[in-house]
Homo-oligomer: A and B are copies of this chain.
C-alpha cells in the first residue's frame, strides 16, 4: 500500500487534496556520505525521511522525495572527502535544487514548507536556497521552517543517551545518535557486528585544505558508537515526534490544524 504521506507514492489528485487542506510539505535533505563501517551511505537522507513521515502523520502533511545528495563532507564533522562514497554537491547546486522545489511547490499552492535536514554540512546552503526562493517569489504568504533534527535533542534525552556525559554534537557522526536512530528506523541496514568503538577525534579549531586524513579515525566514526541501542533510537524518535510536531504546529498554526 502506498504511504499516504509520501509524496512520490500518491497520485496528482491526492496531492491536490493535500494542497486544498493547506497541508505542510516536508522536504527531507541529506547526503550520500560515509557513516562508518556499520551504517549505510544513505543515513543522512534516510533519517530525515523517516522523521518527516512521523511528523507528517501527526500533522496531516506530505513528505517530498528526499534530496539524497548534499554538501561536501568536512573532515571535522563528517570525516572528510577521503572516504569512499562521500559524494558532495557544490553549494550552489544544493541551494538551487531546494530553491527550484520551493518555487514549484508554491506554484502548486503550498504555503507551508518544512525543510528537515540530516547532514550537518548542508545547513547554510539550505538557508540560502530558502532565502533565494523567498526573495524571488515575493509576497505569497509562504512560510518555511528549516531544522537539523538533532537541534531538538533536549537535556532529558541527552541524559538518557549519554549516561556518562554528552560529548557534543560535533562528534556525533556515525556515533550513538545516528546509530541508535538507524537501529530504530532501519534495523536491517545496521551492521551491528561492525559498530566501531574508536576514541574521539581531537581536531583543532580550524579547517585546512587539502584536508588532513589523520584527523579522522580509520573507521570514519568520529567517536565510539558502542553505546547505541534500538531503545535509544526509540527515545529520540519519540522526542522528535512530540517536539518537532509541536514546533511545526506553532509555526504553521491555522493551516496545519486544518490538514489533520
Nearest Cβ distance between residue A48 and chain B, in whole angstroms? 13
Task: List residues of chain B with CB within 8 A of the CB of A8.
Answer: 32, 40-42, 45-46, 68
The stretch from A10-18, A50-58, A155-163, A225-233 touching chain B is A10-18
For residue A66, CB closer than 8 A to chain B, the reply is yes
Interface residues on chain A, number (Cβ under 8 Å): 87
State whether the Cβ of A184 lies closer than 8 Å to any Cβ in chain B. Answer: no
User: In the assembled complex, how far is the CB of residue A206 from the closest CB belonging to chain B, in whole angstroms?
Assistant: 4
Give, as a whole number of angstroms, the nearest-CB distance from A147 to chain B.
4
**A165, CB-defined interface residue at 8 Å:** no
Decide if A61 is an interface residue (CB 8 Å cutoff): no
Q: Please report the C-alpha to C-alpha distance between residue A220 and residue B210 in the assembled complex, in whole angstroms.
A: 35
| A180 at interface by CB-CB < 8 Å | no
Inter-chain contact A32/B64, CB cutoff 8 Å: yes
Task: Tell me the minimal C-beta distance from A54 to chain B in angstroms.
Answer: 16
In the complex, A1 has a CB within 8 A of chain B: yes
Interchain CB contact under 8 A, B206 and A247: yes
Interface check A217, CB cutoff 8 A: no
Tell me whether A235 is interfacial, beta carbon within 8 Å: no
Residues of B within 8 A of A40 (CB): 2, 8-11
**Are the C-beta atoms of B91 and A143 separated by less than 8 Å?**
no
A146 to B64, CA, bound (A): 26
- Option from B89, B92, B209, B251 in Cβ contact (under 8 Å) with A144: B209
On whether the beta carbons of A124 and B91 are closer than 8 Å, the reply is yes
For A152, give the chain B residue with the smallest CB separation. B205
Residues of B within 8 A of A65 (CB): 32, 42, 45, 68-69
Chain A 14-49 residues near chain B, CB threshold 8 A: 15-16, 19, 32, 34-42, 45-46
**A167-205, CB < 8 A from B:** 188-189, 191, 194, 204-205
Q: Most chain-B Cβ atoms within 10 A of its Cβ — which of A74, A90, A145? A: A90
Known contacts A209-B134, A247-B204, A251-B208; decide if A74 and B127 are in contact (CB<8 Å): yes
Interface string of A51-84 (1 = CB under 8 A from B): 0000000000000111111011010000001011
> With A1-B188, A69-B100, A101-B69 in contact, is A38–B11 under 8 Å at CB?
yes
Whole-angstrom distance from the CB of A156 to the nearest CB of chain B?
Answer: 14
